[in-house]
């Protein structure tokens, strides 16, 4: 009998732009205040990609190059590149194509994954299946968003939340039981009315009117999304634990999507995890959509131990949500 192949994460890279948009600066732009933002969301600052002609692919490139360097990997060895994003450089071609070109991954194929804040988990699960099948040996999964490109900086309900960033992982075959072990992914398109971009797609193509009506920015009904997110992320994480017979003491880390500190706390409580087992960097980066989870892994890499059980959990636009179990492999 052949050995079961799992997809192990063998390297991480990350990138956040230098520019820090602080709560104090936002106070000068919209009617808000540092205290409200910190207590309602947990955010103190976010990173913003400045500069003409800079796009989501420019966030991905340093993250991918960092993981190549750490693993001593020539980009020519990459088989497949999956980029989770809702802020692609262009409608087409895919940002993955552009990233492959920019990093010199000339033998790779790839595509973009559109699942908003759950994008990284959707992409990680997909990439893992390519490894498990035995078809590919080196799959790079990136979560990256230049949210500042679609944020309306006159709307205080959204501009205080989002930031720019990218995180990337390398998946390679493993026969010792490390890597992506299970995933529960969900979607409910009836939730789209609460969080979306109204225009620019085939439903409402761009026109003078859509621009005048500010329909090319994020539209979010915060309270409605909050209610679904608290329940969705906690339920799916509990379901993943139950399905894998995991008790809270078996879990080394919860790696949650960073949308709101209160949603993260609710999920951790439901899983019976103490605060010191939860990765939280929302205060420094805000909500970077598809990048939040890999950026947590990037920030915590030095604290991870071989054999640690990690539960990655997300909820976002779509609605999309899910939880993934990873056994850390190095």
- CB neighbour list of residue 118: distance below 8 Å, 6 or more residues apart: 185, 257, 314, 315, 316, 318, 320, 321, 322
Q: How far is the CB of 257 from ligand UT7 (least distance, A)?
A: 6
Burial of 88 (0-12, 13-18, 19+ CB in 10 A): buried
What is the rounded CA–CA span in Å between residue 265 and residue 117? 17
157 touches ligand UT7 by CB under 6 A: yes
Q: By the 8 A CB rule, do 233 and 290 touch?
A: no
What is the rounded CA–CA span in Å between residue 327 and residue 308? 6
Q: How far is the CB of 227 from ligand UT7 (least distance, A)?
A: 8
Choose between 23 and 183: whose C-beta lies nearer to ligand UT7: 23
Give the count of beta carbons closer than 10 Å to the beta carbon of residue 118: 33
Interface of this chain with ligand UT7, residues 257 to 276, rule: CB under 6 A: 259-260, 263
Of the listed pieces 44-52, 92-100, 223-231, 269-277, which binds ligand UT7 according to CB under 6 A? Answer: 223-231
Choose between 99 and 117: whose C-beta lies nearer to ligand UT7: 117
Using Cβ positions, the residue closest to ligand UT7 within the complex turns out to be 222
204 touches ligand UT7 by CB under 6 A: no
Q: Is 296 a catalytic residue?
A: no
Q: Is 287 a catalytic residue?
A: yes
Active-site position among 80, 117, 159, 296 = 117
What the block records as the tokens of 91 is 């409608």
41 touches ligand UT7 by CB under 6 A: yes
Q: Is 208 a catalytic residue?
A: no
Q: DSSP for 127-145?
A: HHHHHHTTS-S-EEEEEEE
Residues that bind ligand UT7 (CB under 6 A): 32, 36, 40-41, 117, 156-157, 160, 222-223, 225-226, 229, 259-260, 263, 287, 315-316
């Amino acid at each position: 009998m052949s050995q079961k192949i799992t997809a192990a994460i063998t390297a991480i890279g990350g990138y956040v732009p230098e520019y820090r948009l602080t709560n104090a600066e936002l106070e000068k732009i919209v009617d808000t205040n540092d205290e409200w933002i910190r207590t309602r969301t947990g955010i103190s600052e976010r990173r913003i990609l400045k500069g003409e002609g800079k796009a989501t692919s420019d966030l991905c490139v340093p993250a991918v190059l960092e993981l190549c360097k750490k693993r001593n990997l020539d980009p020519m060895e990459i088989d497949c590149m999956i980029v989770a994003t809702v802020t692609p450089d262009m409608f087409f071609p895919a940002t993955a194509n552009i990233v492959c070109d920019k990093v010199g991954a000339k033998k790779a194929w790839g595509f973009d994954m559109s699942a908003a804040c759950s994008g990284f988990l959707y992409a990680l699960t997909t990439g893992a299946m390519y490894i498990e099948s035995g078809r590919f040996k080196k799959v790079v999964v990136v979560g990256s968003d230049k949210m500042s490109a679609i944020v309306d900086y006159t709307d205080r309900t959204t501009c205080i939340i989002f930031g720019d960033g990218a995180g990337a992982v390398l998946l390679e075959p493993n026969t010792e039981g490390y890597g992506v072990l299970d995933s529960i992914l969900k979607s409910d398109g009836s939730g789209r009315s609460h969080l979306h971009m109204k225009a620019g797609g085939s439903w409402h193509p761009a026109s003078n009117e859509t621009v005048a009506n500010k329909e090319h920015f994020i539209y979010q009904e915060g309270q409605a999304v909050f209610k679904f997110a608290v329940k969705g992320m906690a339920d799916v994480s509990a379901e993943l634990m139950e399905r894998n017979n995991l008790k809270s003491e078996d879990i080394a880390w919860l790696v949650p999507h960073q949308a709101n500190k209160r949603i993260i706390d609710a999920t951790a409580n439901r899983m019976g995890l103490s605060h010191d087992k939860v990765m939280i960097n929302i205060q420094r980066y805000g909500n970077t959509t598809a990048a939040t989870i890999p950026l947590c892994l990037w920030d915590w890499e030095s604290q991870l131990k071989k054999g640690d059980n990690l539960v990655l959990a997300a909820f976002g636009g779509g609605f999309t949500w899910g939880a993934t179990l990873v056994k850390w492999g190095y």
